[in-house]
Amino acid sequence: MPTAVKQSAKQTAIDAATQQFITCKQASEILTISEISVRRFLTQKKLRRFKCGSRTLLRLSEVLALVREAS
């Protein structure tokens, strides 16, 4: 594998690891809506879910983007 590709893949992995993830409950507090509404956003594909075992996690950056969109 070329060195540039290795570095690119490594950087991508580092970027993914440094992303902050939050729970649906935390997202509901940030958005000041119910957890059910957050889950509805997941169903409507307004937010993406990431599963970690049985936990559903959301990217903080995507939740904050919804806050900015609503303002």
Span 17-55, pLDDT tens digits: 557 999 999 999 999 999 999 999 999 999 999 998 999
Per-residue pLDDT of 12-24, as tens digits, reads: 655 655 579 999 9
CA 2/CA 57 separation, integer angstroms: 34
Average pLDDT over residues 41-70: 93
Per-residue model confidence (pLDDT) at position 2: 53
Per-residue model confidence (pLDDT) at position 9: 63
Per-residue model confidence (pLDDT) at position 70: 83
pLDDT at 1 over 60: no
Phi first, then psi, for residue 65 (nearest 5°) are: -65, -35
